[in-house]
C-alpha cells in the first residue's frame, strides 16, 4: 500500500464514523432507548443487528454510541497531545535539570499500569463522561511527550535554530515559531494515534462500570451485555457490532498515523 | 553487567516507587469529601468505624503525621494497606495475595507468548519487507491490535466455550482440583488459562511484531549486515546471528514498558472469563465501592510492574555491551 | 589470465517505474598483485561494481554481462559455491567501515566467525590467528576481545582490514576505506595498506571519490562517470597526462602537494540523473570541450595517445 492510499483509507473510515455520529437521528430506524421489539431478537429485517435485553434496537444504539466514543476519543487525543507535546518540547529544548525532572515524571506515568490508576481516579470522581476524559488524558500524554522530546533534541541542533538564536529570538519564540512548525507532522501522527488509545480506553472504563451506564456508548453496550450474560444466551449480535466499531475507528486512526509517519521516514515504507 | 548502570536504573525504580507511594497517599486526600467517608466500611457501625479509622490513619492530625503513619503501615510486614469492606475483616494485602498468583500466571504466560510470537512474526515480515506477506500480515496484526482486549475475549469465549464447547467458560480451575492427580491438575489449570491467555496474546503481539519489523528493516541496511553477507554467511545466519539479534535489543525495553499495558488488559480479560485474578477482584471492588481494596490493588500492581521493569533493565545491560 | 575480469557488466535497479542503470556495460580487470583504483563522484556506480564482484547486490538489482574470478563465472555460481567464494577469495572493507562490525559481538569473535566458516580451524586456533592479524595491522593483540564501540575510528578501520585479510584472499575490495577518518589517521591507514599489499602480494580494488588517495597506492586507475567507465590506464599515465576531459577535471580538483587552495577547481554542475540521461556522451553537458557529435553519439572506449583507454570523441576515433 502506498502511504497516500493508507492515509486516504484511514480518513475514509474515520469519516464514516463521524458522519454516523453527526447524523445519528436521521440514520437510526428507532430511538436508541425505546422498546422497539421483543428482547434478545436476533438480527432480522426489522432489526438489522437484533435487539438487546430490553428490546432496544442494537443498530440504533451502535450509531448513537459513535457520539460518545468519538467525542471522548477526539477530546482526549487533543488534550493529551497538547500536554505531551508541551512537556516534550520543554524537556527537549531546555535539557539538563528540566529534562531530567520532566522525563522522570513522564516515565513514572508511562510505566504504571494505566487502567488501575484510571480506575481509582474514576472511582473517587464518580462515573461520568467528563471523568473518563480527564482520567484518560492523564494517563495518555506521556507517550507523546517521549516522542516529541527526542525529536526536539535533534531539531535544536539544526542550523536554523542556531540562526534564530543568533538573530536574538527568545526561547519561547524559537520553540513555538521555529521548532513547532518542524514537529507538526509528528505531532499530527501522534494525535491521531492517541485517538485509538482513547477510544479503546473509554470502552474499557465503561466496560468495567466506570462510565455512566445510562448513556449509550459502545463501552456501555458491552458493559450491559457482559453483566446480563449476553454471551451465555448466545446473543452475539449485541456484542459484535460495538467491538467492531471500536476496532475500525482504531484501525482508521492507526492507518492515518502510520501513513503520515512513513511519509516522513521513507525507510519503513512497505513498497 | 555494568554496575553503574544497574545502580542508576535501581535508583530510578526507587524514585518511581516513591512517587507511587505519594500518589496512593494523596489521591483519597485531595478528592472531594473526607477520606473517612471513603475508608469507612458502610456495612459496619458507622460512628465506631469512623472513630477507629480516624485513629488508625491519624485523620484528625496534620498531613505529615498522616503520611508518616501511612509509611509505617506500608513498610510493615505484611504491608498494612487497610481493611477491605467486601472481604471484611480480611486485610487488603491478604485478599490481594490470594488473587495475585492467577494474574501472575496469566500475565507471565501471555508476556512470554506475546514476545515470542511478536518477534517471530516481526522477523518474518521484516526480512520480506515490501512483499505481499508483509502487507497482509502487517495489516492483519494492526487490526487485531486495535481491538479492545475484553471484546476480543468475549468473542473467543462465545466461539470456543459457548458455541463449540472446547474450553471451560470461566474460572481458573475446576472445583475438584485438589482431588485430581498432579498432571490433571496442571492440565485443568492450563485449560482454564488458555482462552484468557490467547486473548491477551492476540491483542498485544502486534505491538511487538511491528516494532520488531521496523527495527529489523533498519538493521538490515547496516554495514555490518553487508559484511556478514560478504563473509559468506547464509541468509539465515545473517538474519538470526546478526540482524535479528540486534533488532531484539529494543524489544527487551519494550516488553518491560508494555507490562503496565498487558496488566491493564488482563484486568478486563479476567472479568470476561470470570478468572479469579486481581482484575476480577478490581471489578468486585469497583462494584462495591471498596476504596481501600482499589488503592491496595493500584499499589501492588504498580510495585509488580516497577520490579519487572527493573529486571528488564538488568537483562538489557547483560545483553548489550554498549550500555554505560 | 587476469585475477578478476568484468565483461560488459551492467547493473539495473528496479524502481517503482522502470529501471535505473547504475552500471552500464563496464569492462575492466584486476591482475594478480596489482592495485586498481576506481574513482568517480558518488552515484557513478563504483560501489555497485564492488558489490557485483561479491554478488551481494540487493534483490532489486538485475545484472547482465560477466564477472569472472580466476576464470570462473561468479554470476552463475550456485548458492553454496558463491558463499564459499565470498571472503575466501574476495574480501571487503565496506564503505563507512566504522560500522563494519556487529555492535554486540566482540571484534575478535567476528574475525573468528569468518575463519571458522571457511576453514576447519578449531576455536583456539582461530582466536590465535585473530590476535596475529591484529598484530599485523598494528593494534595491540589483547584488544581482540574488545567490542566495536571500545575501539577508536582508526582502530576500527584497521580491525576491518584485519578481518578482510583473515583468510588470505587473493583480492580485497576497499570501498572508501579512508573517507570518515581525519587526515593524520588517513595517512596511517594508506601507508598500512601499501605495506600490506607489498608484503602479502594481495590485489586491491580501491574505490574512492578522492583521486588523491590513489596517487600513493594505485598501480592502475579507472574513472567512472554516470555508470560508464570513461577512462582506465596505468596510474602514472592517468595522473600525469589524463586524456578524458572528466579525468582532467578530477585531477585539477586535487589540491596539490603544497596544499595551494587556489589550485582546487571543482567541476561545474552535477552528475546527471540516472533515470533521464543526456543523449550522446553523458559528460557532454558539463564538458568544456563538447561539440556537435558529443550530444548525438555515445563515445566508445578506445586507446588514447598517452597509453590509457578513454571514451571521448576527442580521443582516438
The pLDDT, as a whole number, for residue C272 is: 83
Condensed to tens digits (0 to 9), the pLDDT of residues B9-45 reads: 899 899 889 888 998 888 888 777 666 667 666 666 5
The DSSP element (H or E) to which A24 belongs, if any, is helix A24-27
- Residues whose CB is less than 8 angstroms from the CB of residue A249 and which lie 6 or more positions away in sequence, other chains included: A13, A14, A17, A69, A70, A73, A195, A196, A199, B146
Listed as ranges, residues in chain C with pLDDT below 50 are 258-264
Q: Which pLDDT score is estimated for C262?
A: 43
Q: List the single residue in B135, B217, B257 with the smallest CB-CB distance to A110.
A: B257
A24 to chain B nearest CA, in Å?
23
Query: Could you tell me the residue ranges of all domains in chain A?
Result: 3-23+49-270
Q: Which of B223, B234, B321 sits opposite C104 (nearest CB)?
A: B321
> CB distance C99–B222 less than 8 Å?
yes
Spatial separation of the C-alpha atoms in residues B212 and A222, rounded to whole Å:
33
For residues C69 and C90, is the Cβ–Cβ distance under 8 A?
yes
Contact predicate A116/B297, CB 8 Å:
yes
The domains located in chain B, with CATH, are 3-30+61-319 (1.10.3720.10)
- Rounded CA-CA distance A93/A154 in Å is 10
Shortest alpha-carbon distance between residue C171 and chain B (Å): 13
- Residue from the list A204, A231, A251 with its beta carbon closest to the beta carbon of B158: A231
Angle at CA of residue A132, ends A129 and A136, nearest 5°: 145
Q: What is the mean predicted confidence (pLDDT) over B151-174?
A: 87
Q: What is the pTM of this model?
A: 0.85
> pLDDT per residue over A111-155, tens digit each?
888 888 888 888 888 888 888 999 899 989 998 998 899 889 888
Would the pLDDT of A86 be above 80?
yes
Which residues of B fall within a CB distance of 8 Å from C106?
321
Q: Measured between beta carbons, which residues in chain B are less than 8 angstroms from residue C114?
A: 231-232
Domain ranges of chain C: 4-89+169-316
CB distance B154–A226 less than 8 Å? yes
Q: A207 is written with which cell numbers?
A: 466496560
Chains that touch C (3 or more CB pairs under 8 A): B
Whole-Å CA distances, A215 to A49, A71, A221, B123, B189 = 19, 13, 9, 44, 38
Specify whether the backbone of B25 is left (phi greater than 0), alpha (psi in -120 to 50) or beta: alpha
The percent of residues in chain A predicted with pLDDT above 90, rounded, is 37
Per-residue pLDDT, B46: 64
Inter-chain contact C95–B233, Cβ cutoff 8 Å? no
Residue B232: HSE in the Cβ half-sphere, 13 Å Cα cutoff: 24
Give the class (CATH, top level) of A3-23+49-270. Answer: mainly alpha
The answer to whether A228 faces chain B, any CB pair under 8 Å, is no
> Which one, of C227, C230, C264, lies nearest residue C246 by Cα?
C230
- Cα of first residue to Cα of last residue in chain A, in angstroms, is 7
> Among C103, C109, C118, C153, which would you mutate to test the B interface (most chain B Cβ atoms within 10 Å of its Cβ)?
C103
In this complex, the residue of A111, A119, A247 whose CB is nearest that of residue B146 is A247
State whether B154 and A222 contact (CB < 8 Å).
yes
pLDDT in tens, A29-69: 888 888 888 888 888 888 888 888 888 898 999 999 999 99
Distance CA A13, CA A17 (A): 7
Which residues in chain A have Cβ-Cβ distances shorter than 8 Å to B171? none
Q: Is the pLDDT of residue A97 over 60?
A: yes
CB contact under 8 A, B229 and C104: no
**Chain B: residue whose CA lies nearest to C167:** B231
Distance CA A139, CA A118 (A): 7
- Exposed e or buried b per residue across B67-99, where buried means at least 16 C-beta atoms within 10 angstroms of its C-beta: bebbeeeeeeeebbbbbbbbbeeebbbebbeeb
CA dist A68 and A21 (Å) reads 8
CB-nearest partner of C104 from B228, B234, B245: B245
| Residues in chain C closer than 8 A to B222 (CB atoms) | 99
- Are B224 and C100 in contact (CB < 8 Å)? yes
Cβ neighbours of B12 in A, within 8 Å: 104, 107
Q: Nearest-CA distance from B182 to chain A in Å? A: 31
Contacts of C58 in chain B (CB under 8 A): none
Is the CATH number 3.40.50.300 carried by domain C4-89+169-316?
A: yes
Q: How are the residues of chain C apportioned to helix, strand and coil, as percentages rounded to the nearest 5?
A: 35, 25, 40
Residue B64 pLDDT greater than 90, yes or no: no
Cβ contacts of C13 within 8 Å, gap of 6 or more: C19, C20, C22, C58, C60, C61, C62
Q: B242 and C83: CB-CB below 8 Å?
A: no
pLDDT digits (tens, 9 = 90+) for C190-231: 999 999 999 999 999 999 988 888 888 899 999 999 999 999
Q: Best interface-test mutation with C: which of B226, B238, B319 has the largest number of C CBs within 10 A?
A: B226
What local confidence, expressed as pLDDT, does residue A203 receive? 92
* Contact criterion met (CB < 8 Å) for A208 and B289: no
CB-nearest to B257 from A111, A196, A207 is A111
- Give the A window 168-207 contacts with B, CB below 8 Å: 196, 200, 203-204, 207
| 3-class secondary structure, A73 | helix
pLDDT digits (tens, 9 = 90+) for B121-157: 999 999 888 788 888 898 888 888 888 889 999 999 9
Amino acid at each position: 500500500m502506498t502511504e497516500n492510499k493508507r492515509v486516504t483509507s484511514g480518513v475514509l473510515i474515520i469519516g464514516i464514523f463521524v458522519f454516523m455520529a453527526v447524523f445519528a437521528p436521521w440514520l437510526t430506524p428507532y430511538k436508541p432507548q425505546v422498546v422497539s421489539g421483543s428482547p434478545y431478537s436476533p438480527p432480522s429485517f426489522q432489526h438489522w443487528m437484533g435487539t438487546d435485553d430490553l428490546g432496544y434496537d442494537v443498530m440504533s444504539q451502535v450509531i448513537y454510541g459513535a457520539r460518545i466514543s468519538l467525542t471522548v476519543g477526539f477530546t482526549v487525543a487533543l488534550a493529551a497531545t497538547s500536554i505531551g507535546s508541551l512537556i516534550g518540547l520543554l524537556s527537549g529544548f531546555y535539557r539538563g535539570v528540566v529534562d531530567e525532572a520532566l522525563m522522570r515524571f513522564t516515565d513514572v506515568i508511562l510505566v504504571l499500569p494505566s487502567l488501575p490508576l484510571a480506575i481509582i481516579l474514576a472511582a473517587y470522581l464518580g462515573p461520568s463522561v467528563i471523568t473518563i476524559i480527564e482520567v484518560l488524558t492523564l494517563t495518555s500524554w506521556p507517550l507523546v511527550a517521549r516522542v516529541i522530546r527526542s525529536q526536539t533534541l535533534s531539531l535544536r541542533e539544526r542550523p536554523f535554530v542556531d540562526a534564530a538564536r543568533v538573530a536574538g529570538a527568545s526561547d519561547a519564540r524559537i520553540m513555538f515559531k521555529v521548532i513547532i512548525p518542524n514537529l507538526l507532522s509528528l505531532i499530527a501522527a501522534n494525535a491521531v494515534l492517541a485517538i485509538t488509545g482513547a477510544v479503546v480506553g473509554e470502552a474499557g472504563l465503561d466496560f468495567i462500570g466506570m462510565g455512566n451506564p445510562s448513556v449509550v456508548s459502545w463501552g456501555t453496550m458491552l458493559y450491559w451485555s457482559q453483566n446480563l450474560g449476553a454471551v451465555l444466551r448466545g446473543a452475539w449480535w449485541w456484542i459484535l457490532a460495538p467491538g467492531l466499531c471500536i476496532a475500525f475507528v482504531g484501525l482508521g486512526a492507526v492507518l492515518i498515523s502510520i501513513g503520515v509517519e512513513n511519509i516522513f521516514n521513507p525507510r519503513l515504507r512497505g513498497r | 553487567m555494568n554496575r553503574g548502570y544497574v545502580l542508576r536504573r535501581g535508583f530510578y525504580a526507587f524514585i518511581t516507587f516513591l512517587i507511587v507511594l505519594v500518589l496512593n497517599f494523596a489521591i483519597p486526600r485531595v478528592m472531594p469529601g473526607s477520606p473517612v467517608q471513603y475508608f469507612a466500611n458502610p456495612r459496619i457501625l458507622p460512628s465506631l468505624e469512623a472513630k477507629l479509622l480516624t485513629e488508625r490513619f491519624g485523620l484528625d492530625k496534620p498531613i505529615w503525621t498522616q503520611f508518616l503513619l501511612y509509611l509505617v503501615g506500608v513498610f510493615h510486614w505484611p504491608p498494612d494497606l487497610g481493611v477491605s469492606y467486601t472481604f471484611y475483616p480480611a486485610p487488603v494485602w491478604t485478599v490481594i495475595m490470594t488473587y495475585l498468583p492467577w494474574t501472575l500466571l496469566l500475565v507471565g504466560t501471555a508476556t512470554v507468548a506475546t514476545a515470542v510470537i511478536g518477534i517471530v512474526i516481526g522477523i518474518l515480515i521484516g526480512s520480506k519487507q515490501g512483499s505481499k506477506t508483509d502487507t497482509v500480515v502487517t495489516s492483519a496484526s494492526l487490526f487485531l491490535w486495535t481491538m479492545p482486549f475484553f471484546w476480543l475475549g468475549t468473542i473467543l469465549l462465545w466461539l470456543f466455550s459457548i458455541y463449540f464447547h472446547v474450553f471451560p467458560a470461566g474460572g481458573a480451575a475446576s472445583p475438584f482440583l485438589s482431588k485430581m492427580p498432579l498432571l490433571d491438575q496442571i492440565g485443568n489449570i492450563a485449560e482454564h488459562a488458555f482462552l484468557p491467555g490467547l486473548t491477551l496474546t492476540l491483542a498485544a503481539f502486534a505491538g511487538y511484531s511491528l516494532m520488531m519489523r521496523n527495527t529489523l528493516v533498519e538493521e538490515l541496511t547496516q554495514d555490518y549486515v553487508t559484511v556478514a553477507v560478504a563473509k559468506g554467511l547464509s541468509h539465515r545466519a545473517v538474519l538470526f546471528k546478526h540482524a535479528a539479534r540486534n533488532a531484539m535489543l529494543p524489544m527487551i525495553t519494550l516488553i518491560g514498558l508494555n507490562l503496565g499495558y498487558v496488566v491493564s488488559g488482563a484486568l478486563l480479560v479476567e472479568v470476561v472469563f470470570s478468572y479469579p485474578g486481581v482484575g476480577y477482584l478490581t471489578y468486585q471492588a469497583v462494584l462495591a465501592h471498596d476504596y481501600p481494596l482499589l488503592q491496595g490493588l493500584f499499589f501492588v500492581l504498580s510495585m509488580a510492574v516497577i520490579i519487572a521493569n527493573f529486571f528488564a533493565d538488568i537483562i538489557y545491560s547483560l545483553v548489550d555491551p554498549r550500555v554505560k | 589470465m587476469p585475477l578478476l575480469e568484468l565483461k560488459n557488466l551492467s547493473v539495473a535497479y528496479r524502481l517503482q517505474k522502470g529501471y535505473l542503470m547504475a552500471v552500464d556495460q563496464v569492462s575492466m580487470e584486476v591482475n594478480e598483485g596489482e592495485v586498481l583504483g576506481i574513482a568517480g563522484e558518488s552515484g557513478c556506480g563504483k560501489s555497485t561494481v564492488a558489490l557485483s564482484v561479491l554478488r551481494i547486490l540487493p534483490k532489486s538489482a538485475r545484472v547482465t554481462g560477466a564477472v569472472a574470478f580466476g576464470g570462473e563465472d561468479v554470476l552463475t555460481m550456485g548458492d553454496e559455491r558463491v558463499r564459499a567464494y565470498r571472503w575466501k577469495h574476495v574480501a571487503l572493507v565496506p564503505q563507512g567501515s566504522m560500522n563494519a562490525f556487529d555492535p554486540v559481538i566482540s571484534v575478535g569473535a567476528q574475525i573468528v566467525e569468518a575463519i571458522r566458516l571457511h576453514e576447519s580451524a578449531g576455536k583456539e586456533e582461530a582466536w590465535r590467528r585473530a590476535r596475529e592479524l591484529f598484530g599485523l595491522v598494528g593494534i595491540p593483540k589483547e584488544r581482540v576481545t574488545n567490542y566495536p564501540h571500545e575501539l577508536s575510528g582508526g582502530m576500527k578501520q584497521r580491525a576491518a582490514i584485519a578481518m578482510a585479510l583473515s583468510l588470505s584472499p587473493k583480492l580485497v575490495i576497499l570501498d572508501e576505506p579512508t573517507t570518515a577518518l581525519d587526515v593524520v589517521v588517513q595517512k596511517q591507514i594508506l601507508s598500512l595498506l601499501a605495506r600490506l599489499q607489498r608484503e602479502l602480494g594481495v590485489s586491491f580494488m580501491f574505490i574512492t571519490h578522492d583521486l588523491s588517495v590513489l596517487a600513493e597506492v594505485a598501480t592502475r586507475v579507472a574513472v567512472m562517470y554516470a555508470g560508464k567507465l570513461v577512462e582506465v590506464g596505468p596510474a602514472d599515465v592517468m595522473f600525469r597526462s589524463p586524456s578524458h576531459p572528466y579525468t582532467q577535471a578530477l585531477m585539477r580538483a586535487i589540491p596539490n602537494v603544497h596544499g595551494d587552495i587556489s589550485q582546487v577547481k571543482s567541476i561545474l554542475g552535477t552528475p546527471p540523473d540516472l533515470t533521464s540521461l543526456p543523449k550522446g556522451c553523458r559528460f557532454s553537458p558539463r564538458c568544456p570541450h563538447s561539440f556537435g557529435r558529443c550530444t548525438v553519439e555515445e563515445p566508445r572506449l578506445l586507446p588514447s595517445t598517452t597509453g590509457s583507454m578513454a571514451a571521448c570523441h576527442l580521443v582516438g576515433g
